[in-house]
Amino acid sequence: MKPLLWIEAVVEPHSHSRIEYMIKAKSQFKQRSTANNVEIVIPVPPDADTPSFKTSIGTVKYAPERDAIVWAIKQFHGGKEYLMRAHFGLPSVSNEEDKKDKPPITVKFEIPYFTVSGIQVRYLKIIEKSGYQALPWVRYITQNGDYQLRTS
């Protein structure tokens, strides 16, 4: 199975001056499905400053309290690919400790009318001795669980 949302990150750090990100997000489900409220969280160094972004879709925000960029896409259709570029300044003196842990990229999403396993309800029969007619309604949704992509 292909991961429903695939993220590729190219990170170009230029020590003591700047760091650049090129993030590619790809939806690997069928075109007729749509992922809603997609949120891609890309961790950045805690001492990064002066953020600037460029994207073809959605909104990008720097969340300094999380040391991350949050790329939010309201509707991500299937079989699509989008790019986002980010640029940060780095201080000329950096803390070596900060570079040690690189948290993974995490993704949030929900895809309605879709089950990733392919499970389907074939019938739901209701029988009561009084013989009333009952309405069964079925809904499907796939969401992210613990969805992580390591960067290095």
Partner 1 sequence: MRLQVLKDYFRELEEESIRDNFVITYELMDEMMDFGYPQISEAKILREYITQEAHKLEVVKPPMAVTNAVSWRSEGIKHRKNEIFLDVVERLNLLVAANGTLLRSEILGSLKMRSYLSGMPELKLGLNDKLLFEATGRRTGGRGVSKGKAVEMEDIKFHQCVRLARFENDRTISFIPPDGEFELMSYRLNTQVSAIELDHRQARIRQRPRLRAPRLTR
Catalog residues that contact partner 1 under the rule CB under 8 A. Answer: 1, 3-4, 29-30, 32-33, 104, 113-130, 132-152
Q: Scan for tokens 């990150």, then name that residue.
A: 9
Residue 4 or 23: the one with the smaller Cβ distance to partner 1 is 4
Residue 92 or 120: the one with the smaller Cβ distance to partner 1 is 120
Q: Which amino acid would we find at residue 45?
A: P
- Least distance (Å) between residue 104 CB and partner 1: 8
- Least distance (Å) between residue 55 CB and partner 1: 22
Give dist(CA 43, CA 102) in Å, integer.
7
Q: Residue 28 carries which DSSP code?
A: -
- Least distance (Å) between residue 89 CB and partner 1: 25
- Least distance (Å) between residue 71 CB and partner 1: 17
Q: Tell me the C-alpha to C-alpha distance, in Å, between residue 85 and each of 39, 56, 94, 98.
A: 15, 9, 23, 23
Residue 96 or 146: the one with the smaller Cβ distance to partner 1 is 146
CB atoms within 10 A of CB 60: 21
Residue 94 or 151: the one with the smaller Cβ distance to partner 1 is 151
CB atoms within 10 A of CB 96: 6
